């Protein structure tokens, strides 16, 4: 036996990976699958149709029920609660339990509760005591009851409020256009790698009559828009976007209120705050964009370089990562 079971633990499964440690008073039922180098702490109960990936840690007082699937490098804090039956009744078992999935590298805080059927995206962070009523995107940080997104792991959180290196003035837009025209087809800078999301200032005029912000499509935007859409009346805990485009550029302007935008190019993530009608955010193709933390009065105006094309969307984050890093088809 190349794994450790404490004398006071009961392990009835033989599908245990090398180097895994199962500590006192843990109970693992027949059929459960536990990967390599896991740490199963005191008082953990694991049912027979549970799956735990490699190098995962399950802290004390956790029950991992049938149809719960934990990926590699998952952390589950003490007394976190999983569930697998949407309408539980005593002595009544469903034909099949609802699958709950925690993807690679995600962390579940102490005393968090996950409702049946949710999927926790890779690298996500669930705060202590959070109640997860819906699936959580990759790398999101969620807290509260019901849980809502408050940020993203490893995102550059400078707020996107005008750092010189990240704000393109109108006179820089034509230079960017020239670079794109000379670039290899399908890339923005000739390297096959997008130039990156960036804030851009638009002209603003203020006098006693009020304020005016203006931009010319052919001069001030990094592309010629083919369509626009407006997003508004979004409950503050809702998340929008969560996809990338293969060819389409987008330019986001929050014309009222505020919204936070995460831009992810597959190598780094940056968070921007849009809270002024004279500052927009350019999202080039192959940028995974997510909008969250809408203020109640937020109105987001989006210009797009292409007409709507369902085939241009990449909605699966793993597929996006594979394409963005050159490992996809």
Q: Rounded CA gap, 83 and 50, in Å?
A: 12
Residue the block writes with tokens 């060819």: 247
Q: Rounded CA gap, 284 and 288, in Å?
A: 9
The count of C-alpha atoms lying within 13 angstroms of the C-alpha of 35, restricted to the half-sphere facing its C-beta, is 15
Question: Is 6 among the residues known to form the active site?
Answer: no
Q: Which of 6, 27, 243, 306 is catalytic?
A: 243
Q: What letter does residue 310 receive in the DSSP assignment? A: G
Beta strands in 192-320 (DSSP E): 198-201, 203-207, 210-214, 227-232, 240-245, 250-256, 259-264, 269-274, 279-283, 288-292, 299-304, 313-314
Q: Rounded CA gap, 116 and 329, in Å?
A: 33
DSSP annotation string for 135-178 = -B-TTEEEETTTTEEEEETTEEEEETS--GGGEE-HHHHHHHHH
Q: Quick check: 74 and 104 in contact, CB under 8 A?
A: yes
Helices (H), 65-212: 170-182
Q: Rounded CA gap, 256 and 166, in Å?
A: 22
Q: What phi-psi label fits residue 286: left (phi over 0), alpha (psi between -120 and 50 degrees) or beta?
A: left
Q: Residue 73: which residues within 8 A CB-CB, separation 6 or more?
A: 53, 54, 55, 56, 104, 105
Q: Which residues are part of the catalytic machinery?
A: 243
């Amino acid at each position: 036996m190349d794994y450790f079971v404490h004398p006071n633990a009961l392990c009835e499964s033989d599908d245990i990976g090398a180097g895994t440690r199962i500590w006192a008073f843990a109970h693992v039922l027949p059929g459960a699958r536990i990967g390599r180098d896991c740490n199963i702490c005191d008082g953990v109960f694991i049912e027979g149709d549970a799956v735990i990936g490699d190098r995962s840690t399950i802290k004390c007082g956790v029950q991992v029920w049938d149809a719960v699937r934990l990926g590699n490098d998952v952390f589950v804090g003490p007394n976190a609660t999983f569930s697998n039956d949407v309408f539980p009744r005593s002595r009544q078992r469903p034909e099949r339990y609802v699958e709950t999935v925690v993807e690679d590298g995600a962390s579940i805080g102490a005393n968090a509760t996950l409702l049946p059927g949710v999927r926790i995206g890779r690298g996500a962070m669930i705060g202590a005591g959070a109640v997860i009523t819906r699936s959580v995107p990759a790398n999101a940080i969620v807290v509260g009851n019901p849980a809502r997104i408050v940020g993203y792991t490893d995102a550059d959180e400078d707020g996107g409020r005008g750092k010189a290196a990240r704000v393109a003035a109108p006179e820089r837009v034509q230079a960017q256009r020239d670079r794109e025209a000379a670039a290899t087809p399908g890339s923005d800078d000739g390297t096959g790698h997008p130039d990156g999301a960036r804030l851009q200032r638009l002209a603003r005029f203020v006098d006693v009559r009020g304020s005016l912000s203006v931009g010319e499509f052919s001069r001030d935007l990094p592309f010629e828009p083919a369509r626009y859409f407006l997003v508004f009346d979004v409950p503050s805990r809702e998340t929008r976007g969560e996809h990338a485009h293969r060819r389409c550029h987008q330019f986001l302007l929050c014309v009222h209120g505020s919204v936070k935008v995460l831009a992810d190019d597959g190598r780094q993530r940056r968070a921007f705050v849009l809270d002024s009608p004279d500052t927009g955010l350019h999202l080039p193709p192959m940028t995974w964009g997510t909008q969250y933390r809408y203020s109640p009065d937020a109105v987001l105006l989006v210009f797009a370089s292409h007409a709507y094309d369902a085939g241009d969307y990449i909605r699966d984050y793993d597929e996006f990562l594979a394409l963005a890093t050159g490992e996809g088809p």
